[in-house]
Chains A and B, each alone.
Chain A
Amino acid sequence: MDPIVPDRIQKELDRFSKQDVYIHLETTNGAYASHHDEKAINVGAYIRNARIQYSRGKIRGDGPYRVGLKMESGWVYAEGLTHGEVDPKGRLLLAGHNREGKLTVALQLSFEPFE
């Protein structure tokens, strides 16, 4: 994955807008957060292959970046995004990584369901 270039990602968000797309959205601090730090709480959520449609998608920020997708009756939101790519299947993969290179957040769009 490459560091995010916002203009490029914006074009991709436009490409997926106004039609049915499959989304993968996740965030996590890992399954060992509270094992390594008693004060921490493991938190994480993911949704994979929900089908959505958004009228407008924007990338904002100076890096790490935020993405918001405006749907007919709701929003998709992710923050902390640092890296992105369009993979060989034409899917938009966005992710945030911490200093150790570990994934902390992911937002992905595809016209076909993710495997």
Chain B
Amino acid sequence: MNKHLLVIFPHPDDESFGASGTIAHYRREGIPVTYVCATLGEMGRGMGNPPFANRETLPQIRKKELEEACRVLDIQDLRLLGLRDKTLEFEDLDELADRIGAIIQEIDPHLIMTFYPGYSVHPDHDTCGAAVIRAVEKMPADKRPTVHCVAFSKNCVDELGKADVVRDVSDVEDKKVAAIKAHRSQVEGYRGGLKEKLDNKDPETMRWLLKERFWTYRFDR
């Protein structure tokens, strides 16, 4: 079976924080990666510090940042769904699932990475994950790809148990840090002075970033 990783997140930068080390590993092995990004993060609060973006220029700036992150990570296939930030939960879930389902059908991935519905803090994250799960659920059980979910709500470990896939990505640290930094409008002014911590390789920050955690979605539960 040919391997192909399909990554589906709602906002530019979700991929870099949650999965860019894993993506870099796959690309290093020559496995194709398709990234489906549902919005351009149009309603993000980060504008750079000092602000260099505004509400109207932010979408195109974030699109360029996303393209730069994809270049850093060697993602050759980036697809934008053109939805609007913060509105995913108000869209028709089946419609969204069907759009994602069509992409799954076309690409035939062996693995999908997305957010764990209900455990991913932002309503867009939860809805994106829910749409992916619904799309995969509609497939015959023996045809379903594995789905690895990112989760980070306070209750995720209590309720889901520990992540069953923990990937050390310290050997691609440079790529992960560069991918995150590509999202300049969001990283400048990120809480806790993230940019400085990345520049200084703050040990605690690096420990957080260089272990990527995923929960394999159990369709039989």
Are A and B bound to each other? yes
Does B153 make an interface contact (CB < 8 A)? yes
Q: In the complex the two chains form, is B55's CB within 8 Å of A31's CB?
A: no
Complex Cα spacing A108 to B188, Å: 24
Whether A100 pairs with B54 at a CB distance below 8 angstroms is no
Q: Which of A35, A100, A102, A108 contacts B56 (CB 8 A)?
A: A108
Interface residues of B in 153-212 (CB under 8 A from A): 153-154, 188-191
Chain A's closest residue to B186 (CB) is A102
A101, B46: Cβ atoms under 8 Å? yes
Q: Report A6 CB to chain B, min CB distance, Å.
A: 19
Cβ–Cβ < 8 Å partners of A93 in chain B: 54-56
- A31 with B123: CB separation less than 8 A: yes
CB distance from A33 to the nearest CB of B (A): 10
User: Does A28 reach chain B (CB closer than 8 Å)?
Assistant: yes
B140 at the interface (CB under 8 A from A): no
Give the chain A neighbours of B86 by CB distance below 8 A.
31
The closest CB in chain A to the CB of B49 belongs to A101
Q: List B contacts of A43 (CB < 8 A).
A: none
- Which residues in A have some Cβ–Cβ distance to B below 8 Å? 1, 24, 26, 28, 30-32, 35-36, 46, 83, 85, 87, 91, 93, 95, 97, 100-104, 106, 108, 114-115
Q: A46-B43, A102-B189, A103-B46 are in contact. List 12 more A-B contacts (CB 8 A).
A: A28-B43, A28-B45, A31-B123, A95-B47, A95-B51, A100-B49, A101-B46, A101-B47, A101-B189, A102-B46, A102-B49, A103-B51
